Structures are given as structure tokens and as C-alpha cells.
Amino acid sequence: MTNTTDQKPQATNVPAVSFEFFPPQTLDASFRLWETVQALAPLRPDFVSVTYGAGGTTRKLTHEAVATIHKNYGLTVAAHLTCVDATKAETMEIVEAYHQAGVTEIVALRGDPPKGAPRFTPHAEGFASSIELIEALARDGRFTIRCGAYPEPHPEATDPLADVRWLKRKTEAGATSAITQFFFEPDTFFRFRDACLREGITAKLIPGVLPIQSWKGVKGFAARCGAHVPAGLESRFEAAIRDGREQELSVELCVDLCEKLMAGGVDHFQFYTLNRPQLTQKVCAALGVTADRRLAVA
């Protein structure tokens, strides 16, 4: 049964949180990453993740960021790993380097195609899919394996349930939890969760939440990943931008989404920080996720 969200929920528990960062490619971006980590580390996230660039373009930078965050901040880091533009041997060398750096969790993904490529094409000697990568990591046996999930159909999906069936195969291969793409409405997640349960998926589903830093940027991202934009949302942001209230509206919408998800049983959120901590901090504070509260429930 799909959860209803027409009543204002009363959230009483402090949710678990995790944060996604991306590796810096300039000096200014490096400062912004470390400022973001320093700002959010006191919230005691269950883990943090560090992304790959499209086509694996930030592979070395990702490894460096992962190693530094783990060593200097004592956080559990779930390192992204993709199948793009690498042989199986090269990919497993990265896995070994992660292990040597003290990493115990990996987010295993197929990955986006290199810039300019119309679609993903497996390397002739590489992993053909995220399932093959997960199977290899499961055989390795040294990592907690997380994967990605699409609560709305992926642009390459052949039918509405294709992503659910694919997720089931990933969990059967060894992934123990899945982090979703961002979405705007709680019922999007609840419908997806219901569909997963009907398919027998028991792995934990962690909603990916995106505090909107820039409405213009998010619109483009939503179009590329297939996220449905609710009617009226654009006009609300246009008005907020005119009034200088874009960030206030973003926090309001994000808190409302999280509270309704919590009322439906969600107890963990993955925040896509875009290496800018302010909005994530405000949303977490509104949900009771503060340094003192997280310490109390740890």
C-alpha cells in the first residue's frame, strides 16, 4: 500500500544521515571540499561518499579525497567505483588501493559515459555492468557494498519496472543497500519502495535528498536523469528568486520532504551536498540532526 502524505507528520526520531561529496579539480574547489567536510563531520554521519566524474575522469582525485577524509576526519567513507573506461584488472587495482587506504565501503555503479559519448559502452576487458562489478566486490569480500537506485525510470529503462528488476539483481549480487537518485515528492519514493517489496527486495533503501542550491541547475539535472518536476514548483522558485528567497524555499521544501518520508518509516537520508554545506546544515538542524543530538543517539 502506498503511504499517504496529506497530513502534517509529527517526526519524533532523529534520522541517520550520510553526505555525498565530489572530488575537487581546482585549488578553490579543494578549499570548498574541506570546508564542507569540516562543517558536516560534527553531525556524525553514518558514512560519507565521494563521487567519480563522468567517464571516470576524477578517478585519481576521488582516491585522494577518500583517503584524506578517512585519515584526517575519521569518517567512514563509501568510495564510488564505476565500470567506465577501465579493464577489470585496473578496477580491482583501485579496489586494492581503497583497501590499503582503510576504506571499508564502496558504492558500486555502472557510471556515466565519457563526455560526448551518447551511451555507456563497456571496455573490451572491463566490467560490462554494475552487477558484474558488485559480483567481483562480493567475491573479494572486504567491503560493504552499496549501489544506486532510480525511484523514477532511468532514461535508458525499457519499461517502468526495469529499474526495480535491475536493483533486485544488484542486491542478489551482493549489494546490501541502495542510495536513490534525488526526487521531489515523497510518494515517488513510497511507490518505488512498494514496488521493491513486491519484487522481494529486502536491502535498505536510502533516499537521496538534494537541497536545491540553484533552481536552474537542478532543472537541467532533473531532465537528464528523468526526475519528474511537480506542477507549480517552477513558479514557486521563480517567485522566490525574485524576492531573494530561493535558499529559504529550498530549505522549506527539503525539510517538508524529509518529514513526510520519516512519517512513512524512513530513518536515513543521503544528502547531495554539492560541496556546499549551508543548506544541508539548515535542513539537518530542522530535523533535529545536530552535533549534540547525533552524539546522544550514537
Secondary structure of the chain in HEC code, one letter for each residue: CCCCCCCCCCCCCCCEEEEEECCCCCHHHHHHHHHHHHHHHHHCCCEEEECCCHHHCCHHHHHHHHHHHHHHHCCCEEEEECCCCCCHHHHHHHHHHHHHCCCCEEEECCCCCCCCCCCCCCCCCCCCCHHHHHHHHHHHCCCEEEEEECCCCCCCCCCCCHHHHHHHHHHHHCCCEEEEEECCCHHHHHHHHHHHHHCCCCCEEEEEECCCCCHHHHHHHHHHHCCCCCCCHHHHHHHHHHCCCHHHHHHHHHHHHHHHHHHCCCCEEEEECCCCHHHHHHHHHHCCCCHHHHHHHC
Query: Can you give the pLDDT at residue 115?
Result: 63
Query: Can you give the pLDDT at residue 6?
Result: 43
5 has pLDDT over 70: no
- Give the separation between CA 198 and CA 183, rounded to whole angstroms: 21
Instruction: Express each pLDDT in 19-51 by its tens digit.
Output: 999 988 888 999 999 999 999 999 999 999 998
Task: Name residues whose C-beta falls within 8 Å of residue 56's C-beta, 6 or more positions apart in sequence.
Answer: 82, 84, 85, 86, 111, 114
Query: Can you give the pLDDT at residue 1?
Result: 46
Query: Can you give the pLDDT at residue 83?
Result: 86
Q: Which of 110-114, 218-222, 254-258 has the highest mean pLDDT?
A: 254-258
Question: What is the average pLDDT across 91-96?
Answer: 93
Question: What is the average pLDDT across 111-123?
Answer: 64
- Any idea of the CA torsion for 285, 287, 290, 295, to the nearest 10 degrees? 180
* Percentage of residues of the chain with pLDDT beyond 70: 88
- Any idea of the CA torsion for 180, 181, 187, 189, to the nearest 10 degrees? -10
Query: Can you give the pLDDT at residue 38?
Result: 96
Question: What is the average pLDDT across 95-107?
Answer: 94
58 has pLDDT over 70: no
Question: What is the average pLDDT across 183-199?
Answer: 97
Instruction: Express each pLDDT in 125-139 by its tens digit.
Output: 889 899 999 999 999
| Residue 288: pLDDT band with limits 50, 70, 90 | very high
Mean pLDDT of the chain, nearest integer: 89
Query: Can you give the pLDDT at residue 61?
Result: 83
Question: What is the average pLDDT across 138-162?
Answer: 91
Question: What is the average pLDDT across 179-189?
Answer: 97
* Percentage of residues of the chain with pLDDT beyond 90: 71
Question: Of these residues, 20, 132, 152, 259, which one is catalytic?
Answer: 20
Ranking 18-22, 145-149, 155-159 by mean pLDDT, the lowest is 155-159
267 has pLDDT over 80: yes
282 CB-side CA count, 13 A: 17
Question: What is the average pLDDT across 235-247?
Answer: 96
Q: Which residues of 16-55 are buried (b: 16+ CB within 10 A; e: fewer)?
A: bbbbbbbbbeeeeebebbbebbebbbebbbbbbbbbbbbb
Query: Can you give the pLDDT at residue 229?
Result: 93
| Residue 93: pLDDT band with limits 50, 70, 90 | very high
234 has pLDDT over 50: yes
The yes-or-no answer on residue 20 being catalytic is yes
Question: What is the average pLDDT across 175-182?
Answer: 97
3 has pLDDT over 70: no
Query: Can you give the pLDDT at residue 107?
Result: 97
Tell me the Cα Rg of the chain: 19
Residue for grid cell 546544515: 281
